[in-house]
Every structure is written in structure tokens, then in C-alpha cells.
């Protein structure tokens, strides 16, 4: 199985040793962010900084002419990724012999939501989610499709991975987050993620649902949850809380909306890309799920894209519904290898073998820039042991490749 490591441009730019160090892990490919959400990231080996604060969602290259005169358009990065930061990093990584694929975050953008509240998902209580653009809105869909095409097809890229190409809902880490006091299972998350913006209200009407009455029903369904009733149990609990007819109608609207956006985005990427360009989606096989790994119908998405990247940290069961399609598509198991973020680099070989038995054809390793020297050394040893790539001379201990560095912040 081919392995690819996730990387940010700021992990590479300004660090002459970074590209060779990543190649020395034994991966033939990197998945390099070209459009990314706001974040605060550790760079434990960089010669010039230790913390990078990306203050808002941005493209990590100069936005193109297609955005001229448009209200919704991508934001340029600040000093954390000046100029063509993506291009600079991609050139260095390719120079180390690595294939470079783009990593594109789409329907997750807090700055867009704050500056244009009309784009937000709006829940049944009227609360807006500024991090979550509603993918039913025509102008938002047009923005996302064009962003997918531009950010995916960067010079020299051989493929792309599209993240958040679907509904984003309640679940979202936020500064000093305080929403965990009442535990929400699948059903509670679904009900709190249903959107009632004007576009979704029209969508419900097209399915003979009165949006006002539906919002009342959703709030009533959530009342026992606020009092402590469990809301796990999956879709059957949604039907129990909301009623089967209402639940089915809302799901039909949301799934059609996501499917058509995914089709449009992949079509746009392929139209802009050279022959042989690979298009993958970060995906969850439970179609009503929200988030970075968009909920999809496995049969449908594998008829649209070249494959999927599936979260497998803690278990690889989500691979099975995709593998059952028998399409021969790329099924990439995404494994966190940063110990401090809940990953298990020490069990990478076993986790990879388990994922392969469940149908994985490739691995994704999150994240080469965030991991400690010890974690990277463990990853290198595991990949060499698995035979996915021979260990390179001079890289027996990745920690030895770290350069002496200052701790000046960006």
C-alpha cells in the first residue's frame, strides 16, 4: 500500500531539511494543504518558529482572476503563508522525490461566515454557525465548486484530496469550547445540524414540509435530550425523536444537496486537471453525518470520485461499506500518527495491516509536520518493516535529522 503524509506549507518553507526529512520517512507522496481553515499549529523542528497561527481560512497561493468582482471569494493568507507558500513547498517536496497532491478544505470557513452571515447554517433555534457555510445556497455552491477546481489543480500536483465537501454541522472545535456539557450522540448532532436558512426552507417546501412546523418539531425532539435523555443509537433514534416521515424527508433533502455538490466539484476539478489527475474525497460512509469527513453514499461517491480517504484512527470499520462496492477505487485509511493528538504511531504496522484486511489500498498519515521526532522515527521504522519503502541511509532515527533552531515565533 502506498502511504502519503499530510503536510502544511509552513512545515517546509524556511526549513532546508524538511523535504528530505519527510521523504526519509519512506513515503512516496505528500498531501500538501493548498486551502485550509484557521488553525494554531506546532512546528517542532522548524529553524525559525515553533507556533504558526493561521488566523483565518485561506488559500495558500495567490487567488486567481476568476474571483474578480465576486462577493464570495477565497481569502489570501497572512504572514503565516505569504505569497505562493503552497508552490514553494511543493517545489521543495517534489525536489526530494515526492509526489505532491493537494489538500483542499472547502465547506468550513469561519471568516467567510462571520463576514457574510447569510451564508451560515442556521439551526432550528435560529442560531447561526459561522464556521459552516450552507451548501444548499446557490452562491455558496458556486464558490465551493470554483474553489475546489482552483485549489486542487496547482502546478505540478498529481491529484487532490477534497475535505469538507458536504454538510458541516454543530460539531466544531472552537476557541474555549463550552458545548460539551450535554452529550450529543448521532441523533442529537443531526438534529442540531439541520439547517433552516432561506435556501433550506425552500428545499423543505419542495418536499412538502412546512419549515416553521419542522423547526418546532426539531426543538420538541431535542427537549428530552437537554434533560439528559440519550441521543445516540444512530438513525433509528433520529426517527424516534423526530418521527419517521419528517426524518426521512429532511435526510432526502440534505443527501441530494450534498450529492449534487460533490458531483459538481469533482467535475470542475477534472475539467481543470491534466489527464490522470486523481480526485479523492475525505468521507464517512454514513450519509447523514456532518463534518470534515463528509457523509456520503458509498456507491454514489465511488461512481463520482477516484476514491475516498476514510478516518481509521481507533478502528478501520468505516472502510467496509466502501470496500463492499467492489469498484477497485482508492480506499485510503487515514491514521493519526501524532501521539499527543490521540494517535498511535507505535501500532502503525498493525493498524495498517488491519486496514488492508478491511479493504484499504493506501495509507494517509496525519501529520508529518505536527508529529514529534520520536513519533516520526517510529513511523519510519514501521513503514520500513511493512516493506512499503526501504529506509534511506542516514534516516534510521528521524530525530537526528532535526536542525538546531531558534524558538522565535512567526
Checking if the pLDDT of 398 tops 80, the result is no
**pLDDT at residue 181, rounded to an integer:** 76
**Which has more confidence, 203 or 404?**
203
Q: Is 358 among the domain residues? A: yes
Residue 28 phi, psi (nearest 5): -85, -10
Cell numbers placing 128: 447561526
pTM for this prediction: 0.93
Neighbours of 294 (CB within 10 A): 27
User: What is the C-alpha separation between 120 and 57, in angstroms, rounded?
Assistant: 15
Please spell the DSSP secondary structure of 227-270, one letter per residue. Answer: TT----STHHHHHHHH-HHHHHHHHHHHHHHHHHHHHHHHHHHH
Secondary structure class of 409 (helix, strand, coil): coil
Q: Is 240 among the domain residues? A: no
Q: Is 217 among the domain residues? A: no
Cell numbers placing 13: 518553507
Contact 131, 108 (CB under 8 A): yes
**pLDDT at residue 368, rounded to an integer:** 98
CATH number at residue 139: 3.20.20.80
What residues contact residue 402 under an 8 Å CB cut-off, 6+ apart? 17, 21, 45, 373
- How confident is residue 405, by pLDDT bands cut at 50, 70 and 90? very low
Checking if the pLDDT of 180 tops 90, the result is no
User: What is the C-alpha separation between 394 and 64, in angstroms, rounded?
Assistant: 41
Q: What sign does the dihedral 378-381-385-388 (CA atoms) show?
A: positive
List beta partners, residue 278.
159
Secondary structure class of 86 (helix, strand, coil): helix
Checking if the pLDDT of 177 tops 90, the result is no
Whole-number percent of the chain with pLDDT over 90: 90
**pLDDT at residue 408, rounded to an integer:** 30
Q: Is 206 among the domain residues? A: no
In this structure, are strands 29-36 and 2-7 parallel, antiparallel, or unpaired?
Answer: parallel
- What is the b/e burial string over 131-147, where b = at least 16 CB atoms within 10 angstroms of the residue's CB? bbbbbbbeebbebbbbb
The arithmetic mean of pLDDT across residues 83-102, rounded, is 98
Residue pLDDT, tens place only, 360-396: 999 999 999 999 999 999 999 999 998 844 444 434 4
What residues contact residue 133 under an 8 Å CB cut-off, 6+ apart? 107, 108, 109, 112, 113, 119, 120, 121, 140, 143, 144, 168
Write out the residue range of the structural domain in which residue 77 sits. Answer: 2-121+129-177+254-401
The arithmetic mean of pLDDT across residues 237-251, rounded, is 96
Nearest one of 98, 84, 137, 107 to 19, comparing CA atoms:
98
What residues contact residue 294 under an 8 Å CB cut-off, 6+ apart? 164, 165, 166, 167, 258, 262, 281, 282, 283, 284
Residue pLDDT, tens place only, 130-176: 999 999 999 999 999 999 999 999 999 999 999 999 999 998 877 66
Residue pLDDT, tens place only, 23-38: 999 999 999 999 999 9
Checking if the pLDDT of 409 tops 90, the result is no
Q: What sign does the dihedral 299-316-286-103 (CA atoms) show?
A: negative
Considering the chain, what is the average pLDDT of its residues? 93
Residue 249 phi, psi (nearest 5): -70, -40
- Report how many domains make up the chain: 1
Q: Is 409 among the domain residues? A: no
User: What is the C-alpha separation between 252 and 242, in angstroms, rounded?
Assistant: 15
Classify burial at 394, counting beta carbons within 10 Å of its beta carbon; exposed 0-12, middle 13-18, buried 19 or more.
Answer: exposed
Residue pLDDT, tens place only, 10-24: 999 999 999 999 999
Residue pLDDT, tens place only, 283-303: 999 999 999 999 999 999 999
Q: Is 221 among the domain residues? A: no
Residue pLDDT, tens place only, 198-231: 999 999 999 999 999 999 999 999 999 999 998 9
Cell numbers placing 271: 475539467
Checking if the pLDDT of 410 tops 70, the result is no
Q: Torsion over CA of 303, 304, 305 and 311, rounded to 10 degrees?
A: -70
DSSP designation for 382: H
The length of the chain in residues reads 410
Q: Is 37 among the domain residues? A: yes
- How confident is residue 245, by pLDDT bands cut at 50, 70 and 90? very high
Please spell the DSSP secondary structure of 166-203, one letter per residue. Answer: S---S----TT---TTS---HHHHHHHH---SHHHHHH
DSSP designation for 403: P
Residue pLDDT, tens place only, 257-289: 999 999 999 999 999 999 999 999 999 999 999
**pLDDT at residue 176, rounded to an integer:** 65
Q: Is 219 among the domain residues? A: no
Amino acid at each position: 500500500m502506498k502511504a502519503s503524509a499530510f503536510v502544511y506549507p509552513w512545515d517546509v518553507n524556511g526549513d532546508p531539511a524538511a523535504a528530505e526529512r519527510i521523504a526519509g520517512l519512506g513515503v512516496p507522496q505528500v498531501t500538501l494543504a493548498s486551502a485550509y481553515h484557521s488553525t494554531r499549529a506546532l512546528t517542532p523542528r522548524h529553524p525559525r518558529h515553533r507556533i504558526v497561527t493561521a488566523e483565518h481560512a485561506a488559500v495558500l497561493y495567490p487567488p486567481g482572476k476568476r474571483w474578480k468582482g465576486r462577493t464570495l471569494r477565497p481569502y489570501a493568507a497572512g504572514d503565516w503563508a505569504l505569497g505562493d507558500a503552497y508552490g514553494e513547498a511543493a517545489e521543495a517536496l517534489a525536489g526530494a522525490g515526492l509526489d505532491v497532491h493537494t489538500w483542499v478544505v472547502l465547506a468550513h470557513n469561519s471568516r467567510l461566515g462571520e463576514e457574510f452571515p447569510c451564508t451560515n447554517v442556521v439551526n432550528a433555534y435560529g442560531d447561526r454557525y459561522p464556521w459552516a457555510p450552507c451548501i444548499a445556497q446557490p452562491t455558496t455552491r458556486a464558490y465551493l465548486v470554483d474553489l475546489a477546481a482552483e485549489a486542487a489543480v496547482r502546478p505540478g500536483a498529481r491529484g487532490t484530496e477534497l475535505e469538507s465537501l458536504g454538510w458541516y454541522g454543530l460539531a466544531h472545535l472552537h476557541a474555549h469550547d463550552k458545548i460539551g456539557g450535554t452529550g450529543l450522540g448521532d441523533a442529537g448532532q443531526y438534529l442540531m445540524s439541520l439547517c433552516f436558512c432561506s435556501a433550506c426552507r425552500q428545499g423543505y417546501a419542495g418536499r412538502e414540509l412546512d419549515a416553521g412546523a419542522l423547526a418546532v418539531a426539531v426543538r420538541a425532539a431535542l427537549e428530552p435530550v437537554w434533560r439528559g435523555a440519550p441521543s445516540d443509537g444512530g438513525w433509528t433514534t433520529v426517527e424516534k425523536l423526530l418521527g419517521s416521515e419528517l426524518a426521512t424527508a429532511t435526510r432526502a433533502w440534505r443527501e441530494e444537496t450534498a450529492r449534487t455538490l460533490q458531483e459538481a466539484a469533482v467535475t470542475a476539478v477534472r475539467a481543470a486537471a491534466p489527464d490522470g489527475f486523481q480526485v479523492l474525497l475525505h468521507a464517512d460512509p454514513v450519509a447523514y453525518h456532518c463534518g470534515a469527513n463528509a457523509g456520503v453514499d458509498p456507491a454514489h461517491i465511488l461512481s463520482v470520485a477516484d476514491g475516498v480517504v476514510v478516518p481509521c484512527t481507533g478502528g478501520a470499520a468505516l472502510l467496509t461499506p466502501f470496500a463492499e462496492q467492489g469498484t477497485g477505487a482508492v480506499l485510503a485509511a487515514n491514521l493519526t500518527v501524532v501521539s499527543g493528538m490521540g494517535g498511535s504511531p507505535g501500532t502503525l504496522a498493525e493498524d495498517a495491516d488491519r486496514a488492508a484486511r478491511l479493504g484499504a489500498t493506501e495509507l494517509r498519515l496525519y501529520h508529518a509536520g505536527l508529529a514529534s521526532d520520536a513519533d516520526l522515527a517510529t513511523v519510519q521504522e514501521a513503514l520500513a518493516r511493512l516493506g512499503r519503502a526501504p529506509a534511506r541511509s542516514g534516516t534510521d532515527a528521524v530525530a537526528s535529522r532535526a536542525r538546531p533552531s531558534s524558538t522565535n515565533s512567526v
